[in-house]
Every structure is written in C-alpha cells, then in structure tokens.
Amino acid sequence: MSLDAIPIHVVNAPSGEPGLTGNAPPLLRELLEQVRRLLDTGEPSAIDLSALPLTPADLDWLHDKLGSGEIAVALQANGESTLNETGCPGVWWITHRNEQGAVTSQFIEVTFVPELVKAHPRDVAIGQEQLEFMISDL
Amino acid sequence: MQGPLIDTLARQGITRRTFLKYCATLASMMALPPTAGRAMAEAMAAARRPSVIWLPFQECTGCTESITRSHSPTIEGMIFDMISLDYQETLMAAAGHQAEAARANAMKENAGKYLLIVDGSIPLKMDGAYSCIGGRSNVDILKEAAAGCAAIVAMGSCASYGGIPKANPNPTGAVSVSDIVKDKPIVNIPGCPPIPVVMTGVLAHYLTFGSLPALDDKGRPKSFYGDTIHDRCYRRPFYDQGKFARTFDDEGARQGWCLFELGCKGPVTHNACATVKWNGGTSWPVESGHGCLGCSEPDFWDGGGFYKALSAPADPLKFAAAAAVVGAGAGVAVSFANRAKKSAARASHETTTLADLEK
Ligand code: SF4
Ligand code: SF4
C-alpha cells in the first residue's frame, strides 16, 4: 500500500507559515563577535543551530544572509556531512546527516578550517605506513 | 580490558571522523555547548572500557530490545563497544551456572568500579519469590550487586518507578531500584521503553566524565528530560490556536491537529520523543497520529485512561495555556528559556575543555 492511500496529510507547519521569529538577526551579531575573537586570539567558536528556537524560515534567512563561499566540503561518514564556507570567510555552515539523509545536527563554526576537515596526526601516520609499504613493493 | 577505544573502533572500520561527527550530534542532543563534542570525542577515544553488569528483573525485555535494535548497523552499537558488558542474560552466550559465575567474577574483579544497569522492577511480596534468578530473589541479587558498584542506571520505567508491574493493585509488591538502594548514585532512564540515544548519551557522559549527568527531581538526566513532550511537539501551534482532533478519523485528525482531547499526556510528560524521535529519527507517536501515553512518568499506567483528556491542569499545562494567550511568539521564548535552564554552559558558545564540562 502506498502512503497516498492513507487519507492523512502530514502537516508539519501550521497553516499560514511559521515565518520569521526574529531570533536569527541577533545571531549575526554573535557571529561578528566570534569572528573578531578568531582574528584577535585565534580562538575558534561554534553555534549549535539545533539548540536554538529557529524556524525553517529563520534558518533560510540566515543562510541567505551569509551566502555561500568558495569552499564546499562533503564528508561521507555514516551519512553525508557538508562543511561549507559561507560568504564570510572563516564562517562555516556545517550540517550532519544520518544514513537516511535526515539532518541530525547543524552548526555554524567560526574557524580558519573546521576540525573535521583536518587529518589527525595518527591517521596521517597510518597513511605514511601505507606509502612506505607501496614503495617497498616497487 | 583492551586498549584505547579509538583503536577498537578503528578495527571495526569506524573512522575518527565518523566518531567525531557522532560525538558532535550527541553533545547537541545532550544540550552541551557546541564545542563539547570534541572534548567528549577526545576523552572517550582514550577511555578504557569500564565493566558493566546488567541485571534484568521483573521486565518484558522491551528495554533491551529498544537499545539493541535501535538501528542497524547501529551507531548506538558503537557505545556498546565502549563498555565491557560482563553480564547480560539476554545477550550473553553463557547460561546457567556459567552465567552466574561470570557475574560473580566481574563483581569481584571490578569491585567498586563497575557500572550496574538494571531493567525491570523488584517484587517484594512473599519475600521476593515472584521473580528469582538461579534460586535467588531479585531484591537479594540487587543488594549484592549494588554494594560493589560505582553507580546504577535504572533502565526503563519499571526499574525507575516500578512501571507496569507496579500498576494497581500491584500484585507482586513491585518497587523501583531507588526504593531499595539508597547509598549509590542512581540515574533513572524512564520510558516504556526508553529512547536508545538517551541510554547511550548517559553512557557517553559516564565514559567522558566518570560521573552521571545532572538529574531532575525524579532522577532523570535533565539534558533529555528537561522539556515536556508538549514543549517541543510540532503540533503545538495547533494547540495554541485551539485546533483539536476530536476523534481519530475526523477532519482535525486528517489535518494533523493537536491530540490533546484524544488523551495526549504530552503536557505533563518529560521525555525527548518530540526532538529525538524513534526508529532512528523516523517518526514518533504523536507524528503517527496517537497521543503520548506519558510512559516516562511515574505510575503512567494508573493515570486515568490513555484516551481521556487531561482534566486537572498540572503546572506545565497552565504554563502552556499562558503561552497560548500570548501567541506563538511566547511559545518560542518559553522553549528557549527551557533550553537555557537545562544547561548554563550552553549560554556561552565558546570553546569548551573537559574541565569546563566537569564543573
Ligand atoms: S497536547 Fe500532545 S499533540 Fe497536542 S501539542 Fe501537546 S504534545 Fe502535541
Ligand atoms: S510519546 Fe509519550 S508515551 Fe510515547 S514513547 Fe514518548 S513519552 Fe512515551
């Protein structure tokens, strides 16, 4: 039986669109603070978007304002994650999805390079072993 | 005991980045500050596997089902690789005397350090004869195992509050773990059954900090049980607009309106279903068209009928009614405040170290 055969409309939003709550603009100020700190002290920071009362419209607004930058990173690890630089360099929009494609968490990170992108020294060491092995086989 | 956790995971093809990503999401669900994920990942990656003894008492094995069948090949399962599960009747290969010997052994070798998980209530009538394992009553086994443990996790509503066995007239004299054990830290993870990630969240917290998370007045982790179902329900705007389904097949039900009048206990039930959902985030009871039964609250079975609308407005309900008057805006502010209440640390979106989190 297909889903259409069940006479229920899934209504996720109240009729008349939830719209903007006004909770998104203050985040821009907070981001400015965080960017300043990154430049002054090199200290990275992050905002957990799933923890804030933001409607889909708020998130769209924020996404629109920040725009997209030059770098888009896709990470395949138990579902896809995207780590995309926004139009403001150093401000990254990070979305984690599970294997079904549902968003499990969403962050804005203020950092030169998100931690997840960097290779860990211990993993690099494993790569080194692999290379050595390849060369010994030549 | 084996080497650091990250090596165990790597052997199973779970990469460091997968683990980091998992920790970031877990930290977010636990209302820890956004950078806590990394601190957790670092601490957990280096952790040695603690010994865990899991005792099943008067229960239906639904809690075990919930945890072990969460989703496959489960990321939740990773957490189980982080512990050394030395006794779990349902999952272990050993049986009979061998199994009992394994428990005795683990208790001796890890005296004072093991984590005790209990599911099921403990019957006290007739000297506990209603539920025995290997000829010994549950209450007897619990007291012995509790004496040597570091902390206890009461899994599910039965172990937390007595649950269905305790339902009126409570023929077996069922009680909860905290009714019997008074001198150990106990965390309740109620739910019938509880949500898998709540369980793994508590384990992750224990592995990271070596302690139990902050608890509410009913012994539940605040990070998962801090809000009511109603606070976070996606049908809440309909409640605020006074749009209710009156039967399960009327126009309101088809439109996905609020299920309050059909007996939803969401307004007085603290649990994470509305945000974490069930079956790997697929859906949850209210989303499938049925009201909340209130399964994570004490004595939910005797609450006066699953399909009877709440009559005596409890506090959360008054609170909701006030929000309804002011409109949706207030609802948002309210859930924001709740979230803030849960974790002061959240307020500063700043770099977190393990030391900060332990405060
Ligand atoms: S009463 Fe139930 S269905 Fe209605 S908004 Fe509250 S939790 Fe959701
Ligand atoms: S919706 Fe209510 S009854 Fe259902 S699992 Fe969640 S807390 Fe329990």
Over residues A68-86, the pLDDT tens digits come to 999 999 999 888 999 999 9
Distance CA B286, CA B263 (A): 11
Decide which of B44 and B341 is more confident.
Answer: B44
- Please indicate whether, in this complex, the C-beta atoms of B256 and A11 are within 8 angstroms of each other: yes
Sign of CA dihedral B28, A102, B6, B91: positive
Residue with tokens 């399960």: B248
Give B262 Cα–ligand 2 centroid separation in angstroms.
Answer: 15
- State which residues form the domain around B95: 48-225
- Whether B186 is covered by a domain: the verdict is yes
- Whether B5 is covered by a domain: the verdict is no
Got the DSSP string for B6-54? HHHHHHTT--HHHHHHHHHHHHHHTT--TTHHHHHHHHHHHPPPPEEEE
In this model, does residue B346 exceed pLDDT 50? no
Return the pLDDT at B181: 97
In chain B, the number of structural domains is 2
In this model, does residue B41 exceed pLDDT 90? no
Q: In chain A, helix, strand, coil percent, each to 5?
A: 35, 25, 40
- Whether A14 is covered by a domain: the verdict is yes
Residue with tokens 């384990």: B203
Are residues B55 and B191 located together in one domain of the fold?
yes
- Whether A70 is covered by a domain: the verdict is yes
- Whether A4 is covered by a domain: the verdict is no
- Whether B345 is covered by a domain: the verdict is yes
CATH number assigned to the domain comprising residue B55: 3.40.50.700
- Whether B27 is covered by a domain: the verdict is no
Are residues B92 and B198 located together in one domain of the fold?
yes
Residue owning the nearest CA to atom 5 of ligand 1: B236
- Whether A5 is covered by a domain: the verdict is no
- Whether B270 is covered by a domain: the verdict is yes
- Whether B30 is covered by a domain: the verdict is no
- Whether B178 is covered by a domain: the verdict is yes
CATH number assigned to the domain comprising residue A44: 3.30.1370.140
- Please indicate whether, in this complex, the C-beta atoms of A78 and B22 are within 8 angstroms of each other: yes
Q: Which of B248, B288, B332, B348 is the best residue to mutate to test the A interface, defined by the most A CB atoms within 10 Å of its own CB?
A: B332
Are residues B161 and B287 located together in one domain of the fold?
no
Q: Say yes or no: B281 contacts chain A, CB-CB below 8 A.
A: yes
CATH number assigned to the domain comprising residue B310: 4.10.480.10
In chain A, the number of structural domains is 1
Residues B182-208, mean pLDDT to the nearest whole number: 89
Looking at B225, B253, B270, which one is the last position of a domain? Answer: B225
Are residues B301 and B263 located together in one domain of the fold?
yes
Cβ neighbours of B349 in A, within 8 Å: 30, 34, 45-48
Q: Say yes or no: A20 contacts chain B, CB-CB below 8 A.
A: no
- Whether A3 is covered by a domain: the verdict is no
Whether the CB of B236 sits within 6 Å of ligand 1: yes
- Please indicate whether, in this complex, the C-beta atoms of B22 and A116 are within 8 angstroms of each other: no
Average pLDDT over all residues of chain B = 81
Q: Say yes or no: B318 contacts chain A, CB-CB below 8 A.
A: no
User: B-contacting residues of A 54-93, CB under 8 Å?
Assistant: 75, 77-78, 81
Q: Say yes or no: B349 contacts chain A, CB-CB below 8 A.
A: yes
Average pLDDT over all residues of chain A = 85
Are residues B206 and B250 located together in one domain of the fold?
no
Helix ranges (DSSP H) in B269-326: 273-276, 315-326
CA angle B256, A53, B223 (to 5 degrees): 95
- Please indicate whether, in this complex, the C-beta atoms of A107 and B349 are within 8 angstroms of each other: no
- Whether B12 is covered by a domain: the verdict is no
Whether the CB of B162 sits within 6 Å of ligand 1: no
Angle separating helix axes B315-326 and B328-342, nearest 10 degrees: 140
Return the pLDDT at B161: 97
By mean pLDDT, which of A19-28, B199-208, B348-357 is the weakest? B348-357
- How far CA B23 is from CA of A96, A108, B29, in Å, comes to 11, 16, 10
Are residues B318 and B218 located together in one domain of the fold?
no
Are residues B86 and B165 located together in one domain of the fold?
yes
* Nearest partner of A89 among A123, A66, A106, A118, judged by Cα: A66
- Whether A68 is covered by a domain: the verdict is yes
Q: Give the ipTM of the model, two decimals please.
A: 0.78
Residue owning the nearest CA to atom 6 of ligand 2: B273
Ligand nearest the Cα of residue B273 is 2
Q: How confident is the model at residue A14 (pLDDT cuts 50, 70, 90)?
A: very low
- State which residues form the domain around A61: 10-132
Give B246 Cα–ligand 2 centroid separation in angstroms.
Answer: 20
Distance CA B218, CA B190 (A): 10
Return the pLDDT at B186: 96
Share above pLDDT 90 across residues of chain B, in percent, rounded to a whole number = 43
Residue spans of beta strands (DSSP E) within chain B: 51-56, 84-88, 114-119, 122-123, 132-133, 136-137, 149-155, 174-175, 186-189
- Please indicate whether, in this complex, the C-beta atoms of A107 and B24 are within 8 angstroms of each other: yes
Q: How confident is the model at residue B342 (pLDDT cuts 50, 70, 90)?
A: very low
Return the pLDDT at B343: 42
Are residues B52 and B195 located together in one domain of the fold?
yes
Give A55 Cα–ligand 1 centroid separation in angstroms.
Answer: 18
Q: How confident is the model at residue B183 (pLDDT cuts 50, 70, 90)?
A: very high
- Please indicate whether, in this complex, the C-beta atoms of A48 and B20 are within 8 angstroms of each other: no
Looking at B199, B225, B251, which one is the last position of a domain? Answer: B225
Decide which of B218 and B9 is more confident.
Answer: B218
Looking at B192, B225, B258, which one is the last position of a domain? Answer: B225
Return the pLDDT at B3: 61
Distance CA B21, CA B11 (A): 18
Q: How confident is the model at residue A87 (pLDDT cuts 50, 70, 90)?
A: very high
Are residues B172 and B261 located together in one domain of the fold?
no
Instruction: Supply the pTM of this predicted model.
Output: 0.75
Q: What is the SS3 assignment for B186?
A: strand
- Whether A137 is covered by a domain: the verdict is no
Residues A83-107, mean pLDDT to the nearest whole number: 91
Distance CA B126, CA A25 (A): 64
- Whether A2 is covered by a domain: the verdict is no
